[in-house]
Structures are given as C-alpha cells and as structure tokens.
Amino acid sequence: MKMIADSGSTKTAWRLVDAEGNIQSVQTEGINPFYQESAEIVSTLKESLLPYIKGRVNEVFFYGAGCANEEKCTLVKNALREVFPGSTIEVASDLVGAAHAVCGHESGIACILGTGSNSCYYDGEEVKLNVSPLGLILGDEGSGGVIGRKVIADYLKEVMPGYLREKFYETYQISSPEIMDRVYRKPYPNRFLAQFTRFLSENITEPYCSHLVEESFREFVLRNLVHYPHYKTLPVNFAGSVAWYFSEQLEKVLKEEGLSLGRIVRDPIEALVDYHS
C-alpha cells in the first residue's frame, strides 16, 4: 500500500492507495513540527489514522506545513517510522507538495494560500527559490490567518462598518477577552483567526470585505511574488482554500499587477495522488 499525505496547520488529508489502485480517503488534524513534538505526532497517527489502515504500508509520501528544514522533516519522518516501521518514507514541505500538485513537471510559480501562505519558483523538478513566508506575526500575507487577524482587529477597533460589526457579533457571539485569550494564550492562533475568513466570504459583496481580501492578496504579490524571476511571464499557480474561495478577488489583483493566473486547486491531495501514480 502507498500512502500520500498533504498536511496543513488545520488538517491532514491522507490517501491510501492499494496495489489495485483503489483509493481510501482519511482526514486527521493538522501535523506541524513547528508546533508539535514527535510524541504528539505519533499519538495523532495512532489514534486518528492507524485504525483505518488495513494491510502493510510500503511507501509514505508526506508533505507538510512546518517541514521547512532537515530537522523538522526528520522529526516527522521519525514519528512516521515509529508508526509504520519498515516503510519507505519521504517527507517534504507542503510547498513542494503544492508545486508538484499545481505545476506537475512544468516550470512556474507555486503558491499556498490557506491557513498560512507560502510561495516558490519551481523549475519543473524542484523548488529553486523560496521567499520565506515568516509566519503569522512577520509575514503570511494573503493567508487565512492574516486575513482573519485583520478582520478581528478591525472588529475590535471599530474600523469595520457598524452594520457589519453587528452582523459579526450575531454570527460569532465572541467577546474581546475571549479573542485575546485565544490569540495570545492558547495554541494555534492561526487556526483560530483563519476561521473568520468565512465571514468575508459570506459577505464578499460588501465593499469592506472585498477590499480587505484584495489588499491582502496585493500584499502577497508585492512582498513575495515580485522577487521571483520571470514572475510576470510564468503562470502563477495556487493551492489552498483561501485561493479557491476568493478566486475572483485573486484573479482581479493578479491582473491589476500584471501577473498571469495559472491553476487553482483547493486541496492538492488528489493531484498528488496522480503525481505519485
């Protein structure tokens, strides 16, 4: 059996492919070695994934958020090896996974716009250049976490139009102390903040909402994509739910900035199954 995984900070999509090509889908919580130690990852694998596996796993291809260097890749690989001893295991970043999914074996710019954001220049075989996303506090422009952070800040500072503030409160019934606790004291503030992009999606016809999304995408372009060679001639491809659900706003911003939109996939996992077939 071959196992392929695409893991973001929020969830991990698994595909189990048997010798006959039958595919089984499993979803577990996100696995991110920047936030989790090996023991926690092992626990997630044993509790949420292992019960679904029938038969021997021969190969594992894991693409994950936080697998940005050898140390973090090794941490995840060791956790996988403990649960699936004897399997051939390959671990790479979710950015490599996105590049494989949206570019295949063609050159282009590959981007992730999900809970977090990332981008790279991909030559058809490997990632050649990557502008560091820098995470929720220093970067992650265009991501669900950063867009959600802007929404929450505008809500608390009363920058958001009054009628939308009322609608926001009616939707979430959340107080300022609760927000501060979730952002500054609880784990995974990026997951918490990213959930508020749904409010923008549901109200995208409101000028405030569309403007916030478009300017967030413009920041992503101007602080990341302009640093890649041939960024105005190569197709710019995207993976992730934020790119998928706000594709109209994304296409508009790219066109205004002189870039060419390529492929958008909500979840890279299906394309990764094809890539490894």
- Mean pLDDT within 193-201: 96
Tally the domains of the chain: 1
Answer whether residue 51 is part of any domain: yes
| pLDDT, tens only, 120-155 | 999 999 999 999 999 899 999 999 999 999 999 999
Is 6 contained in some domain? Answer: yes
Q: Is position 62 within any domain?
A: yes
Residue 77 lies in a domain: yes
207 part of a folded domain: no
CATH number at residue 92: 3.30.420.40
* pLDDT score at 151: 97
Say if 12 falls within a structural domain: yes
Backbone angles phi, psi at 69, to 5 degrees: -145, 175
- pLDDT tens digit string along 230-267? 999 999 999 999 999 999 999 999 999 999 999 999 98
Q: What percent of the chain has pLDDT over 70?
A: 100
Domain around 89: 2-97+270-275
Q: What is the pLDDT of residue 273?
A: 93
pLDDT tens figures, 90-110: 999 989 999 999 999 999 999
Task: For residue 231, give the nearest of 145, 51, 108, 124 by alpha carbon.
Answer: 108
Is 164 domain-assigned?
no
Please give the biggest Cα pair distance in the chain.
59
Q: Is residue 209 part of a domain?
A: no
Phi and psi of 109, rounded to 5°? Answer: -100, 125
- What's the pLDDT score for residue 55? 85
Lowest mean pLDDT among 7-21, 108-122, 142-156, 182-196: 7-21
166: left (phi over 0), alpha (psi -120 to 50) or beta: alpha
pLDDT of 72 over the 80 cut: yes
